[in-house]
Structures are given as structure tokens and as C-alpha cells.
């Protein structure tokens, strides 16, 4: 149960990080992308901040798109890990995790509407949904595999307190 609590705490921390990044005004968001371009030696910071530089604007846009997919994919993975066993097995947990992540993405965009220099964009929700979808697919494949292997499933029982022995015995008696 301690592991499950830790997963919940990490999930809430990531949601907080997303909220904090969404709270930053548009000009600071551009500076964040420019900082990353500078640190990765793709462009120096001055070039990256030049709004007339087409390459810089293209790269910043790609960074922000990738950030949406990565952050919300990670959030979906954590939500999945947090709720597995509460709502059902692998596939049902995946669907619910995906929906919860999209709901959070929608509230994030509504929040951005009120931040200076930012806007609520349906394209961002779609990107977030894609990232969440990939995160959920990864977790569903992982947990479907775990559910089929008794030794791994017993390990999950320790983490999630699912009472696997009864479930596994019931499966054996049905075969």
C-alpha cells in the first residue's frame, strides 16, 4: 500500500508541475523553449528568442508539441498506475485513465485561457490526448502481460493489494 501512495503522490506532483507550467505567461513559455534550444546547442539563446527567425519559431513549436505529448503521456501512465485495481483490470483501467487525463487536459486549457499571453487551444487537448493514449497503451500492454504471468501478478498483488491468490485459484478452477 505504501507503493500505491507513493504513486499517487508522484501523480499529483506531475499534475502540479503541469499546472505551474501552464500558469507561466506566454513570453516566459517562449523563454523556456529558448533555454532548451540553447542548452542542447541547437541555437544560442539570442537566436532562439528572435521571433523573426523562422527556424527558431519552428523549433519552439516542436518543443511545445513534444512537451504536451510527453507530459500527458507520463500523466496517463501515472494515473493508470494509481487507479489499477480500483476500477478493474488492464483494459478498463486504460480507458478510464485516458478519459481522466483528457479531462485534466481540458481543465488545463481552460486555466490557460486566463493566463496572460496564453490561449486555450483544442489542438493542445488533442496532443495531450495522443500522449495519454500512447501512455495508456504502454500500460495496458504491460499489465495485460503481467495479468497472464502468475509470478508477476503476485508481485502486483503486493503493490496493489488485489488478493491475487483468490483470483488465480478461481482462474485455475474455471479451466
Contacts of 133-136 with CB under 8 Å at 24 or more apart are: 133/76, 133/98, 134/69, 134/73, 134/76, 135/72, 135/73, 135/74, 135/75, 135/76, 135/77, 135/80, 135/97, 135/101, 136/76, 136/77, 136/80, 136/94, 136/95, 136/97, 136/98, 136/101
Domain boundaries, the chain: 2-149
* 18-77 tens-digit pLDDT: 999 999 887 888 888 888 888 888 888 888 888 888 988 899 889 989 999 999 999 999
For the entire predicted model, the pTM comes to 0.84
* 71-107 tens-digit pLDDT: 999 999 999 999 987 887 889 999 999 999 999 999 9
pLDDT band with cut points at 50, 70 and 90 for residue 167: very low
Tell me the C-alpha distance between 87 and 149, whole Å: 21
Do 162 and 103 form a contact (C-beta atoms < 8 A)?
A: no
Q: Is the pLDDT confidence value at 1 over 70?
A: no
**Torsion sign, CA atoms 111, 112, 115, 121:** negative
Reduced to 3 states, what is the DSSP secondary structure of residue 93?
Answer: helix
Closest of 67, 27, 70 to residue 51, by C-alpha: 27
Tell me the C-alpha distance between 38 and 73, whole Å: 25
Which alpha helices (H) appear in 84-149, and where do they start and end?
90-113, 122-148
Amino acid at each position: 500500500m505504501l507503493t500505491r501512495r507513493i504513486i499517487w503522490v508522484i501523480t499529483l506532483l506531475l499534475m502540479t508541475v503541469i499546472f505551474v507550467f501552464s500558469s507561466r505567461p506566454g513570453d516566459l513559455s517562449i523563454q523556456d523553449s529558448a533555454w532548451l534550444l540553447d542548452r542542447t546547442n541547437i541555437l544560442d539563446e539570442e537566436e532562439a528568442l528572435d521571433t523573426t527567425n523562422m527556424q527558431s519559431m519552428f523549433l519552439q513549436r516542436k518543443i511545445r508539441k513534444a512537451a504536451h505529448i510527453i507530459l500527458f503521456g507520463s500523466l496517463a501512465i501515472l494515473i493508470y498506475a494509481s487507479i489499477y485495481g480500483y476500477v478493474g483490470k488492464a483494459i478498463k483501467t486504460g480507458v478510464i485513465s485516458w478519459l481522466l487525463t483528457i479531462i485534466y487536459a481540458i481543465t488545463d486549457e481552460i486555466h490557460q485561457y486566463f493566463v496572460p499571453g496564453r490561449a486555450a487551444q483544442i489542438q493542445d487537448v488533442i496532443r495531450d490526448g495522443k500522449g495519454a493514449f500512447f501512455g495508456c497503451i504502454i500500460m495496458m500492454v504491460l499489465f495485460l502481460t503481467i495479468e497472464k504471468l502468475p509470478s508477476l501478478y503476485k508481485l502486483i498483488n503486493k503493490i496493489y493489494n488485489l488478493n491475487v491468490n483468490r483470483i488465480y485459484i478461481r482462474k485455475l478452477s474455471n479451466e
